[in-house]
Structure 1
């Protein structure tokens, strides 16, 4: 009988359960004996069967609710000091600091990169996410100090994986390192077509209402095109969006998973006007047999097949984007798309597919 490898999992923070935590969950299920280490975290974020395996540091006591921005300067050192046990391989879930675990272990590190820290490398992202001149200047200064350490750690990682083609390109451009695409897991078991749910005539925007996701573009385009739009989600941009909205836009707030599935199954198409590193939501919609209209940039270039599972709208100058998107909505014909083909495409992003690929990667590393 083959002895299972000693795998240790490293994540940066357990302050909420979102896409990267879903990745860690599947890694933890693939290697059920693996300890899960992170510098900071809150109790109860991970599923109950995985939570006992999670170890965080004393920095967790300094969290302000789910807020951790004040801890950014000390998180790289905290990862470098994580108590990594003897391991055959360490699998890191990286947003900004997890690659620093190369300083805490002699084992080969496989880094699953959700993205290199865009706030450190992309000034436009920094400007959009940090409020106030002082906060922006502080993050810019920290970014300049951190980038060399970020590059050095990436160079010591044994195997770099990116969650999309766009992220692999960033790894190449910012870290000067090669990487391989491994798409993240999507819950295609819960998100399924339902022939008993009738299709209705409305486009759907679903997710956090924050500037970089471009909900403003979806609202402006729907109003210009004169087509119904349902906005599901909450966020700091909601009041601005409500001011932009006219008679064609309806806000339903944050919805639970069951209602989100119903919206996916009943809408004409999901809209994705913002650039995402990968983007779980459009794959969930496709798993329900629903086409997606998305910007032709970022993760949707991997997940949306034009003419088969939806359409990609080319990026254009700001002065033309509302007209371009309005035309795409007016011209959209749902009869062109086959729900069975859309669903089949989504299944290639399943949890099982992700775990199979990660198991193969780790086996390749251990084989030398």
Structure 2
């Protein structure tokens, strides 16, 4: 049985690549198809456990790291991908358009890593700013294509109930929820906390680190450590007071060291799932977060963290003060216990069972 993996692009190792790692561990794909593969060999080895399948990319690869500038052409390039005729199982890992690729006579199951192409839907005003506003005319065309692409998979798996609801309202399609894998074992429990706060993530507009920075500019007596890199790093550093420290991109061990000793983890983004807040809980560290999106499903208000409901400085400051008043109520052992529900082992068992069941039904249908 020929098994094909389809991904949007391979450029850097992040949360969605951890899902791909588990998928390849289970299904041992024969080939991988993607718009672009500009990932270094070291990261490819991490994704595919040292057993890298044949990776096929499109001509979009010629543009290297600048491939995102060609967003209007993504539909053309994804349509150019033709899978082998003897393909029997297609699993797409989609946060953009990989869900479009399928093959006649094959079962196609798409794992939605996020609300797909959200930069042309809810977050378009975050991305189409400044000079980019002149390209807003392409949004209706891309939205039409995205809806067309959503009809391609036989089955959709959403990575959270939040994404499941979005898939239903946006595409009119049902899906099941299988939460993504979190490497709980790499984030050990620490019961002795220090006095600083921490936040981890890509320093990109949708993560709203600007709001976190502005809040801690007001809370001058509280130290904040920001871990991560991205397009907004210099802007955020210039915005920050001296109580805010940027330590850049770090490996997993170093991140765990910062997060495990922090008083609390601060998270502002409206994420589709949000791996970092679960990793924080695995350390026994409470999470101060937006009570919307995926974090509403992974954080228990006033047990493993504190909710606020709007992305603004005032509400974040109120949530931090609320946490400080109730700090003795947060038990690191109970917080870690909540994180265990999102383990890598649980994900692999659930998705293996689901795909095998659907493939058996698919085979039975062919034989009828």
Q: Same fold (TM over 0.5)?
A: yes
- Residue in 1 aligned with 2:315? 324
- Residue in 1 aligned with 2:116? 116
- Residue 192 of structure 1 and its aligned partner are, at CA, apart by 1.6
- 1:257 equivalent in alignment to 2:252: yes
Change (3 A) 1:217 1:35: same
- Whether the 8 Å contact between 1:167 and 1:277 is mirrored in structure 2 is yes
CA displacement, residues 125-181 of structure 1 (integer Å, 9 cap, x when unaligned): 223224533x3332x333311322322232232111111222112211211111222
**Number of equivalences:** 352
Distance 1:105 1:78 in 2: 19
- Whether the 8 Å contact between 1:227 and 1:329 is mirrored in structure 2 is no
- Residue 117 of structure 1 and its aligned partner are, at CA, apart by 0.8
CA displacement, residues 22-63 of structure 1 (integer Å, 9 cap, x when unaligned): 111110001124422213202524226456304123425413
Q: Output aligned runs, 1:220-239, within 5 Å.
A: 220-225=214-219, 226-239=221-234
Q: Output aligned runs, 1:130-279, within 5 Å.
A: 130=128, 132-133=130-131, 135-138=132-135, 140-194=136-190, 198-225=192-219, 226-279=221-274
> What SS is found at the alignment partner of 1:169?
helix
CA displacement, residues 205-234 of structure 1 (integer Å, 9 cap, x when unaligned): 112222221112212222334422122223
Change (3 A) 1:7 1:334: farther
CA displacement, residues 226-282 of structure 1 (integer Å, 9 cap, x when unaligned): 422122223332333334333432222333322211111110110001211211111
> What SS is found at the alignment partner of 1:307?
coil
Gaps of 5+ in 1: none
- RMSD across aligned positions (CA): 2.2
Distance 1:362 1:118 in 2: 26
Distance 1:199 1:341 in 2: 15
- Residue in 2 aligned with 1:20? 16
Distance 1:67 1:19 in 2: 21
Q: 1:315 aligns with which of 310, 326, 331?
A: 310
Q: 1:11 aligns with which of 7, 11, 14?
A: 7
Query: Normalising by the residue count of structure 1, what TM-score does the alignment of the two structures yield?
Result: 0.88
